[in-house]
Amino acid sequence: MKKQLQILSTPGFIVGLILLLLNDWMLKDLFHNWATGKLSDFAGMFVFPMFWVALFPKLGKHSFWASVVWFIYWKSPYSQPLIDGWNSLGLYSIDRVVDLTDLMALVMVPLAYRYWRREPKPVPFRLHPVVPLGVAAFAFMATSKSGHTVNPKDTYLLAFPKDSLIQWMPVLDSIVDVGGWDNKNPDTIFAQLRSNLDVRCYSDAYQLVLVVSELSNKQTLLMLHEAEIRSNNNDSTLYWVSNDFKDFVINPLLEKHRTTQDSLPNIP
């Protein structure tokens, strides 16, 4: 048993694990930028397949292929029913951000495979492999932990119809993903706003729940109903979310409306 866990006590695995923990618990809070958002994915995809090959050595290289498939599934919208089902148990709430650029981290899997095939020696000091095994399990759970929810209830009256909002919002630079326009929730928008803005959060983007009401005079009421964000700055989160939403969603929408109006031909 100890021999099959030996890969967990090697320098490469330990360094990758330290980077994952350091980024999730310190660097994201200090720098909250694109690089720290991706570092956890890159470090995680180096240690994740080696974690499983240590637990199930008979799988061998198939652990690396399985890690690739799992990461693609996890980062896709198709994993949401699994997340919702798990969270409904009330044991430990998890979440992730759907961002296809995170798949760049898959380049670490061939490097991890090559490192594993070299059969590297453990670190030159006594470290029982159960220790990094437990730390790795904690790190994987912590990096998938869901955030806390704030309810700004900020409401804006927009001088354009709902159809224009649906057309313009997905192409805003600050928006990662938009969804929720269907028959079941015709007035609810689920959006992901990039977090490398003003909010000090621990992921590439944070979730928004917006409520839309179209008025009879072709105006639209847009309310920021809820935001879920991973951040330690609980006291200031509401303030930053409200400011980010105004600066990076509302103002660009108003600018698009103004540009559209200016492009219309003048009718004498």
Average pLDDT over residues 173-202: 67
The dihedral over CA atoms of 24, 28, 29, 33, expressed in degrees to the nearest 10, equals -160
- Residue 198's pLDDT is 47
pLDDT digits (tens, 9 = 90+) for 27-83: 877 776 678 878 999 999 999 999 999 999 999 999 999 999 999 999 988 898 898
Q: Residue with structure tokens 């928004």?
A: 208
**Which range scores top for mean pLDDT: 6-10, 80-84, 85-89?**
6-10
Considering the chain, what is the average pLDDT of its residues?
A: 84
Alpha carbons 255 and 260: distance in angstroms, whole number? 8
Structure tokens at 23: 């980024």
- Residue 199's pLDDT is 47
Average pLDDT over residues 92-96: 81
Q: Residue with structure tokens 């630079």?
A: 173
- Residue 265's pLDDT is 58
What the chain holds in terms of domains, given with CATH numbers, is 6-143 (no CATH), 148-263 (3.30.310)
- DSSP calls for 116-161: HHT-PPPPSS---THHHHHHHHHHHHHHTB--EEE---EEEEESS-
- Residue 266's pLDDT is 52
- Residue 32's pLDDT is 65
**Which range scores top for mean pLDDT: 46-60, 144-158, 217-231?**
46-60
Structure tokens at 204: 């590439």
Q: Over the range 95-106, which residues count as b (16 or more CB within 10 Å of their CB) and which as e? A: bbbbbeebeebb
